[in-house]
Amino acid sequence: MVRAMSNVDGSFWRDRPVFVTGATGLLGSWLTKALHDAHAEVVVLVRDWVPGSELCRSGVLEQLRVVRGELCDQALVERILGEYEVNTVLHVGAQALVPVANRNPVSTFESNIRGTWTLLEACRRSPTVKQIVVASSDKAYGEQEDLPYREDAPLKGRYPYDASKACADLLAQSYWATFQLPVVVARCGNLYGGGDLNWNRIIPGTIRSLIRRERPVVRSDGSLVRDYFYVEDGASAYMTLAQRLAEERALAGEAFNFSNEQPISVLELVRAMLTLMEAEGVEPLILNQAPHEIPRQYLSALKARERLGWRARFSLEEGLRRTIRWYRDFFHEPSASRQVGG
């Protein structure tokens, strides 16, 4: 809940008309719940009904202004911004799966690139929109030798998902540079938390396997190093960024990294979950079948700490504990100490 977010001023959000894209996704669900807890007037655009999402399961979706439709429908987006007199836009809607992007690049480009320019153009034509936060990703940086990534590093996304996020990032910067649209960019590490129903992702997939007493599957060789960023910290990052943009317009056009700055390999991450779920004897099944993956990617959040006063509240261990609890409840596991067999 937002009252637990030390970076967020609840009074700022009270009665503020906010438009959220991607509200039934992982980040969108927790972000929208936090906005609702802060008494914002939240409007969400929903394409697909996702009954297992945190937003639906919590019952919060029923208390929001919900518009059904596609983000690429510019007339619809303009109607939403106009009729609801939207002040703040948080754009987290995207096709967010790397394997899906590799299989279906065009649909990913449609969602992530066209969807972004549609939203930005609608915001440009709106007289009420004052703050816009656009979701980019650490993937927008592509593969680089200088780690951790800092915001002044070039965007070198090469593969379909990476390129789509780099394009969305550059579009946001372009709308600031050309039209002075009040937009900022958020670049997060790999988000995780309760409500992620994409089971080929390493954290929800591993937890589900262990709950079912199955061996967890690692698609890569396990050596890939990443940031894993707890979703409630992600929600507070977006809200803090929008709030600070309202207070300091000079932030417009800038990008900010958000991370708990605890990079870890995939195999180390899986072993941490095995320990937390009391299943240390289980050996993961390593497929070594993950093409087009960058070996090492992680972020510096120094700029966010210094410029925004933002800090991650959850360590990786605490974030994993909270996530495991969510999935145990989701799958109605009767005992938290249930052993996992081979």
Could you tell me if 216 and 282 are in contact, meaning their C-beta atoms sit under 8 angstroms apart? Answer: yes
Which tokens sit at 36? 């609702």
Alpha-carbon radius of gyration of the chain:
19
User: Which residue shows structure tokens 């503020």?
Assistant: 16
Could you tell me if 217 and 209 are in contact, meaning their C-beta atoms sit under 8 angstroms apart? Answer: yes
What phi and psi values does residue 247 have, to the nearest 5 degrees? -85, -25
DSSP 141: G
Outline where 98-247 has alpha helix (H): 98-103, 105-109, 115-124, 160-179, 202-211, 231-247
Active site residue 175: no
10 Å CB burial of residue 261 (0-12, 13-18, 19+) is: middle
Helix (H, G, I), strand (E, B) or coil at 229: strand
Cα dihedral 262, 265, 269, 270, rounded to 10, equals 180
Provide the CB-side half-sphere exposure for 271 (13 A, CA).
7
State the catalytic residue, choosing from 141, 149, 161, 175.
Answer: 161
Residue type at 289?
Q
Residues with catalytic annotation?
A: 161
